Structure 1
Amino acid sequence: MDKTLKDSIDNFTNTKPINMKSILFPTDFSPSSQNAFKYACLLARDIGARIDVITVFHLPASDVADLPADYYPRLIEEQEEVLENKLKAFTQNVDCEDVLGRYDVAYGMFVPQEITSFAKMRDYELIVMGTKGSHNIMEKLMGSITTHTMMQAPCPVLAVPDGAIYEKVEKIAYATDFSLNDAHSVKMLIGIAKEIGAETYFVHVETHAELGRVGDMIEIENYPFEFSEFSVVNHKSVMLGLDNYMEEKGIDWLSLFLPRRRLWERLFHSSFTRKMTFHTNKPVLVFHE
């Protein structure tokens, strides 16, 4: 048996299961965030989860440069009060009283870091965020708050594309490159799939005409994880291959694994994850080690 697969089997039982009863929703009050919040609330209702809402802010240096030092804390308090009221108004646009938990306003210079620190402190099991699409040059170069949160979060992150409409999730595809650490994310994925009553599909996109070699390598009959189907797709583009696969199979969510590797490898994988997240019109569920 291939060493990667053997190690996945050996590590599978050591991965912490997931119940997905507590969801954190960070918002910037944008239209895409409003739509993603509606999606998250309907998901929470389906699985009996609680959803908490947070927004993160900071005061630009130009706004405080000429203020007395003792006024700075007061300015933060005033802004927190304004944003708390804004959060309440934001949530009132969606019928979510039965699943809504708490509101939180956090102050910090680095939004993804504040979100992930809060998620870790309160032990959330899922973060749901909206994506706007990579339309401007800075976002293409730097990514977004959503993708930076994906890279740092202590739990899975579900990125909901702009305009996504919630329907019961029946099929989740896991795109695998046969990573040594597949077991970590796969066990969480299976837990999530069971929680929402969905089937799990495994797919690998092979960009070279080596279907036979890949098929032998993975030894599908011995693959230790529960799945409805395992497909190897041959396509010169991983993204287009996944697009075609999801369309053909009627996939509702795509799930990806973002490994902690050496810097250049991590940049490559995070770049693909970011591109796929902004490219697809399906929600993307991201795991990392």
Structure 2
Amino acid sequence: MKTILYASDRTEHSVPALKYAFHLSRTLKAKLLVLYVHEIDPIRVSVSRPTSQIEYHVIKEQTEILESYCEKHLGVSVDGNKLQVEAVHNDSVSSAILEKTKDMSTDLIIIGRKDRHTDRGLFVGNIGKGLQEKAPCPLLIIPNTIAEKSIKSILYATDFEEADVLALKKLVPMAKALGAKIQMVHISKGKEDAVKEQMTWFKDLVQQEVNDASIDFTVLYSDMIEEKLKAYARTIGANLLVLLEREETGFFQKIFHKSLVAKIEEHIAIPLLSYNEVNL
């Protein structure tokens, strides 16, 4: 992993998420780009100077504010190498993130979870959904109240699909760099024997394709999938939940049938990493 993009709203409530993104980038030895998307007030551009000139000075000012924000809370200088900051003008936060992601060949996007303290900081709903559908790389959604920075236990919720194996091939190197263990779990409402047969098939496939003996596999049974997943994550002390965004109905939709990012706060209190099946 070479480049991580973290989209910040520069609020005090987002400081823990900034520190989390910075710590992760250092652990993975990746460059961190902190991006701020600024919406220029129409009133400010309705003056005699050219719009482009005003935009230039406004973005320059916003970049300086972002740099001071990062240096204050991270305690390091923005060197433009391992830590880079950039403010851009765009009326769409998700579009700005996607454009910069492609420009930078970003390997991971990080956004903050819903923040009730500011409307400007709501990286959920249409923004998160748009990123999940279009981002060319994995999307990591973290609570703005996150305290624990280390990732040592990764919980991957699977529906026994071959696409999960492709996601695992990308996840395993990251887990090894973090020194984290991966726990695969499937929560079923179905018959025990049939599910166990599926798990055996899937486990064999993973071992053949991924070849990582440290991955554990578990099947749980419950009619309350969301609560069971939440309880199990708590039981094993998971620091990260991984799900696969599928084109068709699967485990992902069973858990969050409306939208993962719209409901995640109700169910899971840990960071969530989303892979998009289209980009695997």
Q: Report the TM-score range of the alignment, normalised by the length of the smaller protein.
A: 0.7 to 0.9
**5+ unaligned residues in a row in structure 1: which ranges?**
1-19
Deviates more, 1:246-255 or 1:160-169: 160-169
Give matches, 1:54-133, under 5 Å: 54-61=35-42, 64=45, 66-67=46-47, 71-92=50-71, 93-97=73-77, 100-133=82-115
Pick one of 188, 203, 223 that aligns with 2:205: 223
Q: Distance in 1 between matches of 2:257 and 2:13?
A: 22
Matched residue, 1:198: 180
Q: Give the structure-2-normalised TM-score.
A: 0.82
The letter of the residue matching 1:95 is: G
Deviates more, 1:124-133 or 1:250-259: 124-133
Q: Distance in 1 between matches of 2:34 and 2:162?
A: 35
Task: Quote the offset at 1:168 in angstroms.
Answer: 2.3
The answer to whether 1:22 aligns with 2:3 is: yes
Task: Quote the offset at 1:203 in angstroms.
Answer: 0.8
Task: Quote the offset at 1:180 in angstroms.
Answer: 4.1
Q: Which has the higher contact order (CA 8 A, sep 6+)?
A: 1
Pick one of 236, 242, 250 that aligns with 1:249: 236
The answer to whether 1:284 aligns with 2:269 is: no
Deviates more, 1:128-137 or 1:84-93: 128-137
Q: Is the 8 A contact 2:239 2:271 kept in 1?
A: yes
Sequence identity, in percent?
22
Matched residue, 1:168: 150
Q: Distance in 1 between matches of 2:108 and 2:75?
A: 20
The letter of the residue matching 1:145 is: I
The letter of the residue matching 2:60 is: E
Q: Deviations 1:136-189 (Å, cap 9, x if unpaired)?
A: 99x99x715344323321111211112111342111011112234222212111
Coordinate RMSD, CA, aligned: 3.0
Matched residue, 2:261: 274
Task: Quote the offset at 1:83 in angstroms.
Answer: 0.7
**5+ unaligned residues in a row in structure 2: which ranges?**
none
Q: Distance in 2 between matches of 1:185 and 1:40?
A: 21
| Equivalent position SS for 1:202 | strand
Task: Quote the offset at 1:199 in angstroms.
Answer: 0.9
Q: Is the 8 A contact 1:255 1:284 kept in 2?
A: yes
Q: Is the 8 A contact 2:20 2:146 kept in 1?
A: yes
| Equivalent position SS for 1:271 | coil
Deviates more, 1:90-99 or 1:243-252: 90-99
Q: Distance in 1 between matches of 2:88 and 2:163?
A: 33
| Equivalent position SS for 1:168 | coil
